[in-house]
Amino acid sequence: MGQCCSKGAGEAGATEAAPKAQAPSRGASANNADGQRASSSSAVAAAAAAAGGGGGGTTKPASPTGGARASSGSKPAAAVGTVLGRPMEDVRATYSMGKELGRGQFGVTHLCTHRTSGEKLACKTIAKRKLAAREDVDDVRREVQIMHHLSGQPNVVGLRGAYEDKQSVHLVMELCAGGELFDRIIARGQYTERGAAELLRAIVQIVHTCHSMGVMHRDIKPENFLLLSKDEDAPLKATDFGLSVFFKEGELLRDIVGSAYYIAPEVLKRKYGPEADIWSVGVMLYIFLAGVPPFWAENENGIFTAILRGQLDLSSEPWPHISPGAKDLVKKMLNINPKERLTAFQVLNHPWIKEDGDAPDTPLDNVVLDRLKQFRAMNQFKKAALRIIAGCLSEEEITGLKEMFKNIDKDNSGTITLDELKHGLAKHGPKLSDSEMEKLMEAADADGNGLIDYDEFVTATVHMNKLDREEHLYTAFQYFDKDNSGYITKEELEHALKEQGLYDADKIKDIISDADSDNDGRIDYSEFVAMMRKGTAGAEPMNIKKRRDIVL
C-alpha cells in the first residue's frame, strides 16, 4: 500500500524530523492530525441539537475523516493555469533539492539548499493538479499572502520565496530542525506548571501578533508549533497557515475549519471571529496541564456535542493538584461565550502566565507526562493499525473496488487522475453517499505524484467505509499476533511496526501500557478492539481541515 508521512507540508515543510506513516485519510497533520474544511454532513448539526445549540439543520460539517469546504458548494477549478499570478520560475535554479522530509495528499516537502549561500531550508511542493476546486487555488494564494504579511515576525516560520512552474507551486521556508512541541515536553522528563506557562506565553504571543496584524490562524494545536533547532533555548515557530484568513474587526466567519479536539463551539455554529483561536489555545493549555483533551467522546459527533456543551472537568486527577491560577486561566480561555472569553492581550496579562508570575515551579504529577506520551504514541499506532487493516483485506473484500478502479481508469494506465475519479464516481459509484464521494475525490495521493494508483485507491476507499467492523479489526489483530496466541506481545508489536516502517522504540512501552487494561504486559483482542474504537486521548479522531500538507 502507498503510505503518507507525518509532517504536514506546512509543518513538515518546516521540520527535519523523520517521516512517520499513517492511515491514508483526509485528516492528520504535519505533526499530527491534519484538519480539514467541512462540507455537508450530519455530525455537527446532530451535536448542536443534542447540546441544545443552533448548529443549523442544513449547514453541517463533514465527518472529520475528510470533507470539503463548508459553504454553498465548492466550484471545480478550471484547468489550473497560474496559481500565484506571476511569471513561471524554476525553483531549482536557485535551490538544490535534498532528502525528502515528508509527503502527503497535496505534495512533498524536501530539504533544499541555496546554491549560492549554502543555507538549508525546506521546500514544500504543491502539485497543481491536486487543486481540484477553485477554493483550493484561493487557499494556496492566501497562504502565501499571509506568510508574506507575517514575514519578519520572530516566532512565525519565515517564507523565503514562492515559485511556480507548470506542474507545481513551491514554497521555500525556514527549516525547523528541532521537532514538535510535544516531543520537547516529553523529552524533558520533568514538567512543571511554570514550564507550561512559559510554553503558553510563547504561543499566545504568536497568536496576539497574528491578531494584531489582522490574521486568524484557525488551526491552533500543538503540532503546528515547531522548534527552530534542537538547542534547549530554541525559539518556537508557528507554522501551517493553510487555513488562515485575514479578518476585520466585527466580521464573522462561517466556514467550519479546524481540528476536532481544538475547534471552538462558535465555529461549529458558523459564527466566529478571532476568539476561536483563543479557545484552541485554551484546549492546548488543558492538555499541557492534564495530559488529555478537555472535550472527548467515543466518536466525532460526541466530541462536537461535548464542545458545544462546554462542561469542563477541573476536579478529576490531576486537577486537585493544579494551582488555582492555572484553573482560572483555563476557565477564562474556554468560556463557551466568545464575547466573555479573554483576548490574547488579556491572556498575556493573566497573573499565572506572566513571566515571574504565579505559576508554581513544582513538578506536575508524573501521570500528566505519561498521558502526554500515550496521547502522542497511540495517535500514531491507531493510524498505523488502520493502514494495516486496509492492506490486509482479502481479495474478495476488494473485488468491487478493483472493478470500480478499472472502470474509472479509462486509459488503463494503472493510475487515475482526480478528473477521472470525479467522473467515475458520478457514473459508477451509486453505493457511495455524497459525503463519501467527496472524501474519495480527496483521497490521499500517498506518493505525491498527482495520480492515484490502485493501492492508494483501495486504501482511501476502504478507510472511507467502516474500518472498525469486527471482521476488519480481527484481520488487523491477526496481523500483529504473529504466533496466533491470542495476544499481541511487545516483540510482536515491534516486529509488525518494523515491517510497516513505523517502528519507534520510545513509543512501544506507551502503546502497550495504554492498551493493556489488565496490566499483563500484552494486548488481547478485546483490548485491541477497545483501543481502536475509543475516542479518548489515546486515539485522536480525524480532523476537519482540508490541507495540502503532509499527514501523519
The catalytically annotated residue of 34, 219, 453, 514 is 219
| pLDDT per position as a tens digit, 401-458 | 566 677 677 777 877 776 676 566 554 444 445 454 444 444 444 455 667 777 666 6
The one-letter code for the residue type at 434 is D
Active site residue 219: yes
Average pLDDT over residues 110-128: 94
Angle of helix 454-464 relative to helix 399-408, nearest 10 degrees, comes to 120
Predicted confidence at residue 108, as pLDDT, reads 84
- Which positions ≥6 away from 445 have C-beta within 8 Å? 105, 106, 127, 130, 451, 452, 456
Contact between 200 and 194 (Cβ < 8 Å): no
CB atoms within 10 A of CB 288: 25
Predicted confidence at residue 190, as pLDDT, reads 65
pTM over 0.85: no
Q: Is 128 marked as binding a ligand?
A: yes
What is the residue-wise DSSP string for 210-233?
Answer: HHHTTEE----SGGGEEESSSSTT
List 524's β-bridge partners, or say none. Answer: 487
SS3 79: coil
Cis peptide before 318 (omega within 30 of 0): yes
Instruction: Give yes or no for residue 252 having a pLDDT over 70.
Output: yes
Fold (CATH) for 91-173: Phosphorylase Kinase; domain 1 (3.30.200)
| pLDDT per position as a tens digit, 279-337 | 999 999 999 999 889 998 777 788 999 999 999 999 998 999 999 999 999 999 999 99
- Interior/surface letters 503-533, b for 16+ CB within 10 angstroms, e for the rest: bbeebbebbbbbbbeeeeebbbeebbbebbe
SS3 121: strand
Fold (CATH) for 367-533: Recoverin; domain 1 (1.10.238)
Average pLDDT over residues 11-35: 34
DSSP symbol at 15: B
Angle of helix 275-290 relative to helix 324-333, nearest 10 degrees, comes to 150
Q: Of 23, 32, 20, 17, whose CA–CA distance to 2 is shortest? A: 23
| pLDDT per position as a tens digit, 365-395 | 555 656 565 555 555 566 567 666 666 565 5
Instruction: Give yes or no for residue 1 having a pLDDT over 60.
Output: no
- Which positions ≥6 away from 220 have C-beta within 8 Å? 203, 207, 262, 277, 280, 281, 284
Predicted confidence at residue 498, as pLDDT, reads 77
What top-level class would CATH report for the domain 179-349?
mainly alpha
- Helix, strand, coil percentages (3-state) for the chain, rounded to 5, are 40, 10, 45
Residue spans of the domains in the chain: they are 91-173, 179-349, 367-533
